[in-house]
């Protein structure tokens, strides 16, 4: 069964996009933890955990893709059909596990980010965790279930942050909404990713979304400095 839809000519480029995504997510994690240490707002800690889980998911996919790339190289250099089969079988379980954790971590991280703006953090955690695990397991046979679940979470996140924007009128919240909407669109493209054109488009949209998140973190940092400069005048 095909587990990665990257066309051959795009191999390597997609890993670079994943590495970039990982760096941005990790930056958000660091910023959240730094903020939590300063004012002990637990929601900041949860936000950090949410970003960390998605970052770990990216890391998992990066390592898996490296492994696939290494296998391909090994296979082509040895050339034997039987040896190829053995190599693929031995790493099959690793692929399965890493894809499982990638999906589990991403969906859990998205769920945390979705819950945060809500007044009550408590919810049906056990039930939701159960469905997230089920979705992560089922994705092995039906890859699109993961993307559809992620799409639902991203849609809910977008809806929640639109409500936040109506209250705070912050341009930064608008940027976050844009980034999440782009990620949601990329999930629609990933659902169709059996056609390589859609897979590449999804990856490019994902890259655009993470560039938007990078702009957001730069803006937040600059706004802090601006406030200081304004008061220094």
Partner 1 sequence: MERRSRINIIYDILRVIQERVGGIKKTHIMYRANLSHNQMKLYLAELYKKRFIENTDADKPLIKITKKGQDFFRQYAQVKEFEKTFGL
121 binds partner 1 (CB under 8 A): no
Q: Kindly tell me which of 172 and 196 has the beta carbon lying closer to partner 1.
A: 172
As a whole number of angstroms, the distance between CA 224 and CA 18 comes to 29
Q: Other C-beta atoms within 10 Å of 70: how many?
A: 12
Q: Are 78 and 102 in contact (CB under 8 A)?
A: no
When binding is defined by CB under 8 A, the residue of 9, 39, 79, 127 that contacts partner 1 is: 39
Q: Note whether 129 binds partner 1 by CB under 8 A.
A: no
| Angle CA 216–177–203, to nearest 5 | 80
Nearer residue to partner 1 within complex by CB, 44 or 61: 44
45 vs 138 by CB, closer to partner 1 = 45
Residue 179 C-beta: closest distance to partner 1, Å: 11
Q: Is 55 in the site for partner 1 (CB under 8 A)?
A: no
Following DSSP, what letter does each residue of 29-72 receive, concatenated? HHHHHHHHHHH--HHHHHHHHHHHHHHHHHHHHHHHHHHHHHHH
Q: How far is CA 149 from CA 34, 152, 156, in A?
A: 31, 5, 11
**Is 180 a binder of partner 1 (CB under 8 A)?**
no
Q: Of the two residues 98 and 158, which places its CB atom closer to partner 1 in the complex?
A: 158
The residue (of 73 and 223) whose beta carbon lies closer to partner 1 is 223
Task: Enter the tokens of residue 78.
Answer: 């040895």
Contact residues: partner 1, CB under 8 A: 31-32, 34-35, 38-41, 43-44, 47, 116-117, 161, 163-164, 167-168, 170, 172-173, 176, 216, 220-221, 223-225, 227-228, 231-232
């Amino acid at each position: 069964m095909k587990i990665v839809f990257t066309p051959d000519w795009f191999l390597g480029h997609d890993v670079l996009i994943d590495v970039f995504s990982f760096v941005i997510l990790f930056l958000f994690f660091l910023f959240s933890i730094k903020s939590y240490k300063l004012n002990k707002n637990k929601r900041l800690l949860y936000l950090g955990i949410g970003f960390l889980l998605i970052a770990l998911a990216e890391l998992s996919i990066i390592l898996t893709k490296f492994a696939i790339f290494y296998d391909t190289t090994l296979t082509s250099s040895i050339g034997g059909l039987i040896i190829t089969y053995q190599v693929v079988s031995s790493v099959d379980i690793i692929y399965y596990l890493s894809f499982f954790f990638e999906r589990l971590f991403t969906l859990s991280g998205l769920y945390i980010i979705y819950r945060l703006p809500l007044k009550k953090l408590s919810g049906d955690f056990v039930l939701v965790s159960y469905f997230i695990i089920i979705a992560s397991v089922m994705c092995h046979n039906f890859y699109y279930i993961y993307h559809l679940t992620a799409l639902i979470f991203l849609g809910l996140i977008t809806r929640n942050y639109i409500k936040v924007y109506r209250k705070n009128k912050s341009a930064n919240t608008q940027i976050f909404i844009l980034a999440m909407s782009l990620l949601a669109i990329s999930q629609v493209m990933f659902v169709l990713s059996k056609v390589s054109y859609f897979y590449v488009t999804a990856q490019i949209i994902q890259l655009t979304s993470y560039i938007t998140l990078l702009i957001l973190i730069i803006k937040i940092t600059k706004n802090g400095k601006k406030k200081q400069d304004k008061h220094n005048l």
